[in-house]
């Protein structure tokens, strides 16, 4: 299956196409991450949408760091977000920071005060919550709501000058404490935080809130379509209120779409951070993490992530996507372009008793359907390893691999027949003694004799020992943390299996970090970009194969 390159046609693209037909403007979108963690696959959905839709319409997409909360943000995250976007292959026309606009935002706040649409409130956090009311009951006006414009200007200027402690005062928009939409009940727009900011240092001790910052940053940058996730739908009236009340000529259109959630994992920076901080995973780049840096280390390609984002499409309904959809995207991307090699994950020694020479070289193509990928020579010898799982002393009916007295095909080599089984004192199988048929070289018997199984192998003396890391789902429940449980209790204790003594064919000796291979019959693997070295190769399993081996067996029959 080839990855489809067709442009999706979703409701957002339809709106934009219609707008471009009826009005004259250049499309400008933005991706606005808060630099408070590493990006995950959910962010990729927003990234692909914003950058692709801009490119499809000869528009621009900006990268804007939404950096208004210095207590959680860090330059480490800024750098990682840029690196992730580059890796995905996207370039932004402009790099912006909400903090670039602190001065302008402050001026807008002053303007709101001057037109009596904002006031300085002295209620504390708890009181503000109580006064806010509930979904069923209207809120109550703050006792500070009727301060005069002069008083508000004076207090806000002094808040900025650092005369008050954190939490002592806030600036609130004056909208409607009885509004059905709670977001309109005099939301906070500025709070005091005596904290240095990663971009502005100690210049500010009042910081604007998200809802105030976001719409104004969009307007300042000339964003035409502000695409965000569904939880901001209820904030849209507020987004529009700020722009209308301040009479800003540029009024971007906010359109919401459903967040991506994937089953058997979590998709929130806060939760991912909790896993990292509690050492429940080995860092943000742990290959089990749904972070882009983790998926990159695991071996996912940018193409597969983009294909996945296109496939799942955009809707207005929050649904959970099967992790299998993501796995299919990486399989279809890797299948046509990845070299096939042989690796034995759990080795079982096989001595071919009647093999007359020490070794010989056999040619093996790198790809069954693409001769342009070439071939390599693999060494066949008297002692080889096969997969422990490819032998059963007492095979059930449908087991077509090796068993006592049974003949199988060794991929690219010969037919072998198992003659005897050697065990240790614990009755564990440690070696098989086999014979081979020299006439079957290349994989078929001149007498037309058929074998049902084909298995992979490596030569004992020529193979390289490698560590192979197999990954399974990070959680063993489809929706970790559902029903108010701690999501961490749903962690899968077997999400990683380390095989320190696997054997890979000699051609992998010079495999480089991030290089991907298909280990025949096992799956797709990637050289780990942190722990692998020339002395010790380490491979991550990206994903298992599905039906591909069944096909090979069939075609050999």
**For ligand ATP, which is the closer residue by CB, 229 or 548?**
229
Tell which one of 8, 29, 46, 409 touches ligand ATP (CB under 6 A): 46
- As a whole number of angstroms, the distance between CA 288 and CA 103 comes to 42
Q: Active site includes 554?
A: no
- As a whole number of angstroms, the distance between CA 102 and CA 259 comes to 29
Q: How open is the CA angle 32-36-40, to the nearest 5 degrees?
A: 70
- As a whole number of angstroms, the distance between CA 303 and CA 332 comes to 10
Instruction: Give the shortest CB-272-to-ligand ATP separation in angstroms.
Output: 7
What residue spans of 7-148 are helical by DSSP H?
Answer: 11-22, 41-56, 75-88, 102-114, 125-132
Tell which one of 15, 123, 267, 421 touches ligand ATP (CB under 6 A): 267
Instruction: Give the shortest CB-70-to-ligand ATP separation in angstroms.
Output: 15
What residue spans of 57-193 are helical by DSSP H?
Answer: 75-88, 102-114, 125-132, 149-160
Q: Would you say 215 and 239 are in contact if contact means Cβ atoms under 8 Å apart?
A: yes
Sorted by sequence, the CB contacts under 8 Å of residue 331 that are 6+ apart come out as 524, 543, 545, 546
Instruction: Determine, following the binding rule CB under 6 A, whether residue 260 of this chain makes contact with ligand ATP.
Output: yes
Q: What does the chain come to in residues?
A: 557
Q: Would you say 541 and 524 are in contact if contact means Cβ atoms under 8 Å apart?
A: yes
Instruction: Give the shortest CB-72-to-Mg ion separation in angstroms.
Output: 9
Closest residue to ligand ATP using C-beta atoms: 42
Instruction: Determine, following the binding rule CB under 6 A, whether residue 72 of this chain makes contact with ligand ATP.
Output: no
30, 160, 236, 269: the active-site residue: 269
| 3-class DSSP state of 247 | coil
Instruction: Determine, following the binding rule CB under 6 A, whether residue 42 of this chain makes contact with ligand ATP.
Output: yes
Closest residue to Mg ion using C-beta atoms: 34
Instruction: Determine, following the binding rule CB under 6 A, whether residue 480 of this chain makes contact with ligand ATP.
Output: no
Q: Please report the beta strands in 472-515, taking only residues with DSSP state E, as ranges in sequence order.
A: 496-504
145, 193, 259, 488: the active-site residue: 259
Instruction: Determine, following the binding rule CB under 5 A, whether residue 34 of this chain makes contact with Mg ion.
Output: yes
Phi–psi pair at 420, nearest 5 degrees: -155, 165
Q: Active site includes 259?
A: yes
> Considering CB distances under 5 to 8 angstroms, the limit depending on partner class, which of Mg ion, ligand ATP, none binds residue 46?
ligand ATP
Instruction: Determine, following the binding rule CB under 6 A, whether residue 45 of this chain makes contact with ligand ATP.
Output: yes
Instruction: Determine, following the binding rule CB under 6 A, whether residue 59 of this chain makes contact with ligand ATP.
Output: no
Instruction: Determine, following the binding rule CB under 6 A, whether residue 265 of this chain makes contact with ligand ATP.
Output: no
From 211-219, 262-270, 284-292, 367-375, span contacting ligand ATP (CB under 6 A)? 262-270
| 3-class DSSP state of 417 | strand
- Near ligand ATP in 198-257, by CB under 6 A: 228-229
464-498 as b/e: b if 16+ CB within 10 A = bebbbbbbbbbbebebbbeeeeebeebbbeebbee
> Considering CB distances under 5 to 8 angstroms, the limit depending on partner class, which of ligand ATP, Mg ion, none binds residue 33?
ligand ATP
Alpha-carbon distances of 378 from 345, 384, 423, 554, rounded to whole Å: 18, 12, 29, 23
Instruction: Determine, following the binding rule CB under 6 A, whether residue 292 of this chain makes contact with ligand ATP.
Output: no
Instruction: Give the shortest CB-247-to-Mg ion separation in angstroms.
Output: 29
**For ligand ATP, which is the closer residue by CB, 69 or 529?**
69
> Considering CB distances under 5 to 8 angstroms, the limit depending on partner class, which of ligand ATP, Mg ion, none binds residue 253?
none
Tell which one of 268, 273, 282, 514 touches ligand ATP (CB under 6 A): 268
Q: Active site includes 535?
A: no
Q: Would you say 27 and 225 are in contact if contact means Cβ atoms under 8 Å apart?
A: yes
Q: Which residues bind Mg ion (CB under 5 A)?
A: 34
Contact set with ligand ATP (CB under 6 A): 32-34, 42-43, 45-46, 228-229, 259-260, 267-269
Positions marked active-site: 34, 259, 269
């Amino acid at each position: 299956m080839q990855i489809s390159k067709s442009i999706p046609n979703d409701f957002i693209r339809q709106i934009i196409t219609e707008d471009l037909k009826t009005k004259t403007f250049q499309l400008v979108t933005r991706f606005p991450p808060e630099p408070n963690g590493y990006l995950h696959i959910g962010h990729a959905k927003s990234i692909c949408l914003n950058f692709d839709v801009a490119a499809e319409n000869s528009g621009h997409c900006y990268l804007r760091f939404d950096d208004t909360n210095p207590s959680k943000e860090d330059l480490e995250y800024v750098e990682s977000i840029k690196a992730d976007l580059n890796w995905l292959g996207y370039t932004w026309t402009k790099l912006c920071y909400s903090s670039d606009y602190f001065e302008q935002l402050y001026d807008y706040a002053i303007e709101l005060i001057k037109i009596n649409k904002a006031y300085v409130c002295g209620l504390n956090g708890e009181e503000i919550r109580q006064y806010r009311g509930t979904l069923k009951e209207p809120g109550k006006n703050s006792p500070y709501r009727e301060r005069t414009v002069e008083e508000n200007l004076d207090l806000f200027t002094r808040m900025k000058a650092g005369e008050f402690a954190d939490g002592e005062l806030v600036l609130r928009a004056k909208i409607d404490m009885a509004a059905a939409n709670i977001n309109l009940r005099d939301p906070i727009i500025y709070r005091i935080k005596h904290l240095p900011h990663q971009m502005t240092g100690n210049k500010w001790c009042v910081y604007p809130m998200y809802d105030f910052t976001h719409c104004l940053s969009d307007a300042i940058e000339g964003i035409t379509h502000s695409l965000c996730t569904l939880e901001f739908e209820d904030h849209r009236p507020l987004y529009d209120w700020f722009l209308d009340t301040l009479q800003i000529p540029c009024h971007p259109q906010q359109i919401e779409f459903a967040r991506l959630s994937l089953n058997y994992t979590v998709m929130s920076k806060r939760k991912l951070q909790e896993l990292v901080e509690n050492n429940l995973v080995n860092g943000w780049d742990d290959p089990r993490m749904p972070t882009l840096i983790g998926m990159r280390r695991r071996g996912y390609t940018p193409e597969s992530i983009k294909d996945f984002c296109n496939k799942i499409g955009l809707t207005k309904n929050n649904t959970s996507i099967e992790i299998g959809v993501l796995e299919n995207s990486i399989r279809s991307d890797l299948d046509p372009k990845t070299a096939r090699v042989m690796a034995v994950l759990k080795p079982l020694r096989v001595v071919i008793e009647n093999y007359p020479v020490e070794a010989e070289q056999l040619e093996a193509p790198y790809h069954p359907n693409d001769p342009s990928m070439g071939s390599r020579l693999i060494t066949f010898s008297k002692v080889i390893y096969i997969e422990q799982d490819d032998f059963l002393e007492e095979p059930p009916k449908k087991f077509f691999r090796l068993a006592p007295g049974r003949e199988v095909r060794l991929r690219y080599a010969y037919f072998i027949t198992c003659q005897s089984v050697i065990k240790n004192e614990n009755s564990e199988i440690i070696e098989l003694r086999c014979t081979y048929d020299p006439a079957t070289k290349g994989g078929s018997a001149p007498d037309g004799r058929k074998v049902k199984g084909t298995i992979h192998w490596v030569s004992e003396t020529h193979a390289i020992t490698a560590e192979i890391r197999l990954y399974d789902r990070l959680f063993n429940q489809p929706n970790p943390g559902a029903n108010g449980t701690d999501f961490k209790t749903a962690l899968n204790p077997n999400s990683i299996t380390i095989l320190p003594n696997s054997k890979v064919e000699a051609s992998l000796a010079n495999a480089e970090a991030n290089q991907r291979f298909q280990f025949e019959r096992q799956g797709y693997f990637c050289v780990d970009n942190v722990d692998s070295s020339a002395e010790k190769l380490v491979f991550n399993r990206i994903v298992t194969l599905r039906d591909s081996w069944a096909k090979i067996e069939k075609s050999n029959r």
